[in-house]
Amino acid sequence: MMGSAKSHETVWRHWLLLQRIPRKRFIGTRELQISLRQAGVDVSLRTIQRDLIELSRLNFPLVSDEASVKGWRWAEDASFLEIPGMDPFTALTFMMAKLHLGALMPESCLSFLNPHMSKAREVLKGLDGAGVGGWPKKIARISRHLSLRPPKINTQHLSAVYDGLLMNQQIELFYRKRGTEQPEKYTITPLGVVFVDATLYLVCNFADQRGIYKLALHRIVEAKCLDADSTPIEGFDLHRYIEAGGFEFTKDEGKVRFKALFDKEVAEHLDEAPLADDQRVTIQADGRVKVEARVRNSSQLQWWVMGFGDKVEVLEPQDLRQQVAEACRNMCQMYKP
């Protein structure tokens, strides 16, 4: 009985180890030991190293960096290991996620899903086009907006950012600001990542400065996770930061009353997808539709309004009306024969 219990403990420890080995970077035995302890398994570094060597000999596709203190990761072409196996509907969901996210996320982000996608294609292919197996050919995605290609992000830099976020550790990076050629070195505390359309941003604060900053991940030239715990900002909440306008080029504090007259066809869109919960829509005598709502006065609001061209007339706020009018005058001058 004792031997059986010990065997069960070994299997459980091996399973936890396999779950914690990454694909995109090497992980050291010390980091694995800390992770296992958090899961309630306390073993020596020597035991972990011996387990990993044994697992690699048992045809698990694990590779070592062969350094003096060995690090381990899954082989690049390692298949997705799962218990229980992926069912057809889960496979279809992954394929739909790939279809939707392919135009929104950098390839380096999507690469983390590649093992799941390969498994999903294998599962659906085995159904010979019948039932769920034929669904990928019956699903498509289009956009009414101009699609911009996501900026390229180095996979190793992305892994370092994710590691810092997940393990609450500081990150050392070299960052090239927009309009500059030479990158600068920073030590930062990661607070979160945010997708803004096709661009991925790291929200952080600098070790030697106060305040919250946003760094575009594609401008990171080099990044590594430090063996130093990060100190979170007391009371910081990423979602409240976004709701408060953290990613908008705001022109003043708080919100303003937005009023505008829209052509009827345009207003139908806002009736289906309102600007805000308090939006009010009233039909005018000339057939146009007045839309009122409290919104944040930002550059995004001006860009959005300008996108409707002559199908909208801004009434309030007054500064927005003046900005749109000025832009129209400049355009008339620019396109004048």
Determine the pLDDT at residue 57.
84
Kindly state whether residue 52 falls inside one of the protein's structural domains. Answer: yes
Q: Report which DSSP code applies to 9.
A: H
Judge whether 82 lies within some domain.
no
CATH number, position 233: 2.30.30
Same domain, 92 and 63: no
Whether residue 147 lies inside any domain: the answer is no
Cite the DSSP H helix spans in 28-184: 29-38, 45-57, 88-101, 107-110, 114-125, 155-167
Q: How many CA atoms lie within 13 A of 275 on its CB side?
A: 24
Q: Are 166 and 119 in a shared domain?
A: no
Are 164 and 114 members of one domain? no
d(CA 205, CA 186) in angstroms, rounded, equals 10
Please check whether residues 301 and 282 belong to one and the same domain: yes
Residue 190 lies in a domain: yes
For the chain, how many structural domains are there in total? 4
Are 130 and 101 within one domain?
Answer: yes
Q: Please indicate, yes or no, if residue 66 is contained in any of the structural domains.
A: yes
* pLDDT tens, N- to C-terminus, the chain (337 residues): 444 556 778 888 888 888 888 877 788 888 889 888 888 888 898 899 889 888 888 878 888 876 655 688 888 777 666 556 677 777 877 777 777 676 666 666 677 777 777 878 777 777 765 566 666 677 777 666 666 677 888 888 888 888 888 888 899 999 999 888 899 999 999 999 888 877 889 999 988 778 889 999 999 999 998 888 888 788 888 888 887 777 765 555 568 899 999 998 888 888 888 888 899 999 999 999 999 999 887 778 888 899 889 999 999 999 999 999 999 999 999 998 8
CATH number of the structural domain spanning residue 70: 1.10.10.10
Predicted model pTM: 0.58
Question: What's the pLDDT score for residue 281?
Answer: 92
In terms of domains, do 174 and 201 share one?
A: yes
Task: Note whether 105 and 33 are same-domain residues.
Answer: no
Asked whether residue 80 is assigned to any structural domain, the reply reads no
Task: Examine the domain organization and report whether 49 and 111 are in the same domain.
Answer: no
Are 221 and 170 found together in one domain? Answer: yes
**Residue 143 within any structural domain of the chain:** no
Last residue of a domain, one of 21, 50, 74: 74
* DSSP 8-class letter at 279: -
Q: Which residues contact 215 (CB under 8 A, 6 or more apart)?
A: 173, 175, 188, 201, 202, 204
Query: Does any domain span residue 81?
Result: no
User: How high is the pLDDT of residue 2?
Assistant: 45
Same domain as 262, residue 221: no
The verdict on 266 and 305 lying in the same domain is yes
How far apart CA 72 and CA 48 sit, in angstroms, is 11
The domain of 124 spans: 88-138
